[in-house]
Amino acid sequence: MPSFIVMAAMKGRFVSDQGNLYDNFQMMGYVDAPGPTEAVTQFVDQTPYPVRWEDVEYLWAEQLAVTDGNAHHGDYDRVYVESLRRKWSQGSEPSF
User: Would the pLDDT of 68 be above 80?
Assistant: no
User: Would the pLDDT of 78 be above 50?
Assistant: yes
Which pLDDT belongs to residue 96?
46
Which pLDDT belongs to residue 95?
47
Per residue in 8-21, pLDDT (tens digit) is: 999 999 999 999 99
User: Would the pLDDT of 56 be above 90?
Assistant: yes
Could you state, in order of their start, the residue ranges of all structural domains in the chain? 3-89
Alpha helical stretches, state H, the chain: 36-45, 81-89
pTM for this prediction: 0.77
Burial class (CB in 10 A: 0-12, 13-18, 19+), 62: buried
